[in-house]
Every structure is written in C-alpha cells, then in structure tokens.
A and B are shown apart, each in its own frame.
Chain A
C-alpha cells in the first residue's frame, strides 16, 4: 500500500483500534456467560464499530482516492492494518476479555478526551461523540475487574491471569512515532506519553479496589502501528472480510 498522508495515517490508526476491538468483542455474541453480558459486550462492540466508521471514513476522505470506510475495513490486507497489538489479542476467557477492555478503554477515554481539543475539527468532533461511549466502557470494565478480582478464588485467579496476559501490550498504546510527533506538535494528534500518568493512576485505583497488584513488568511488544501484527489478526480479518473477498461489492 502506498504511504498515506500523515493525517490519514493517524485517522486510520484510530479507526483500526476501534474496528479490530469491535470485531473481537462481537465474537462473544451468543457466547457470553449471561444474556445480559452478551448485550453489554455487543453494545460496546457496536459503539466501537461506529467510531471506526467515522475515523476510517475520514482517513479515506483525506487520502482522496475513492476509498470509503467499508473499502478500508474490508479490502485491506493484514500488513496495512495499523491497530495496536492489544486490541487484536484473542478473547480468551471472560476475565481476559475484561482485562483487555479495561486497559484499552481507559486509554481510549483519555485519548479521546485530549482529542476533543484537536486543531482538526473533524477529529475533535468524532472524539467528542466517542468519549461518552468510551467513558461507559471504562466504567463497565472497571466494575468487572473489581468484581472478579475481589470475588471467588476462581474469578480472582482468572482476572490475574487475564491482566498478566495483556500487560505486555500496554506500552505500545503510549508510543508516539515520528508521524504522530509531528502531528502532535501541530496540535492535531494527541501527545500520548503525556497521558500515561493519568492512565497509571486510574488503573492503580481500580486494581486497589479489586485487591490486585500490577502484573510483573513484561518486555513490551511493539509494532502494530507499522503493520507487524501477531498471527491472530490474520485469522480475525479472514472472518471479518470473508464476504467482501468472496463476493466483491456484495450489498444487502
């Protein structure tokens, strides 16, 4: 894929994060531990897909080569996806899914909160709508972390294991590469490293409530923004993109 303009690349990253996590969560549909949780996870998935539609639509508009949000979602190969590695991780058990949501939603809420002040009015508008949705995701996931962590021996062990599995993908959330550093200096993109202290405080607060401690430090895994993904993303895309690959242009 030809290099996108920096602003389009940035919108694509924001959109890919939401799209891939939305697709992952939708895998729970019909399989959640309770009917009510099935609805909660599907609601979050739909919020995320909605955000992805806006961000990918904007990326296509800036690129100006005729690709809309659908084209970017369904007709791009795995190496061209720029989501962070955290969101593509498999669901695992419910606690692992909650761990991923907890770590990501708090990051996303802080990120969108800052993005509402972007000098690009289109990014600011999408963020203003999304930040309310994401605040709820963060609260819901936090409640579950506390409930599972401070629950039975079984739920506690699973919550600890879930956080431990996801922890190595946290540092990537706060990386600012050359593209985003330039955009951040123009007030367009969010200065993500500046969000880390607030994120740490939120996470530690909920972990204290859950009577859990932070996972042991892991060697961070990076590369999602450059298209270096885990094997899991290809499998996710093969399912998500099947219809448009098998029947190009199909509508209903």
Chain B
C-alpha cells in the first residue's frame, strides 16, 4: 500500500508582472497543506510573491515518444521567429 501523500506541482511568481514558473514538486494531503509546504520548501530565500499548487495527477503531459512528430517539424521554419523586424531604439524589454 502506498502511504505517501499525493504529489503536487509548485509554481512561483518571482515578482509582479512575471508569469508563474514551475519550481518543483512536493507531497501534501490537501490543498492548504500543499500551499504551506510550497511556502516552506520553495520560498525560503525570497524566491517569490505568489504561489500556485496543482495536483500532479491533473497535469496532462505530451508523450516523449511523440517528440519527433510534435516538435521537429518546427526546426526548419525559422521564418516563424519574429527576428526580421527592426526594433526602435526606445523600445525596452523586448
């Protein structure tokens, strides 16, 4: 019998305006405990200003075996990168 608590994925917003990023995972019995554990395990060194926890079982992942058909066709389509524009000098953070 598996006595471990369910697994949760932790996402942290580093500062206002940024998106939440995956930081790691942890075990917890319920949502409140998952948030507490995320706070204690992943934000000890001022890593963030906001936390999300998601049950790992709810993550739908792509199949690694399908990586070829899924991702390789994009490799030779360099024209999809918006790198051919001239950026005006006074536009920052792009």
Contact = CB atoms under 8 A, between A and B. Distances in A.
B30 A36 contact: no
The bracket for how many chain B residues form the interface is: 10 to 19
A147 B27 contact: no
B29 A147 contact: yes
B27 A43 contact: no
A39 B32 contact: no
Interface in A108-126: none
A36 B32 contact: no
A186 interface: no
Contacts of B41: 36, 39
Contacts of A36: 26-28, 37, 40-41
A34 interface: yes
B44 A147 contact: no
Nearest to B38: A36
27 contacts: A34-B5, A34-B27, A35-B27, A36-B26, A36-B27, A36-B28, A36-B37, A36-B40, A36-B41, A37-B37, A39-B37, A39-B40, A39-B41, A39-B44, A40-B36, A40-B37, A40-B40, A43-B40, A43-B44, A136-B39, A140-B36, A143-B32, A143-B33, A143-B36, A147-B29, A147-B30, A147-B33
Interface of B: 5, 26-30, 32-33, 36-37, 39-41, 44
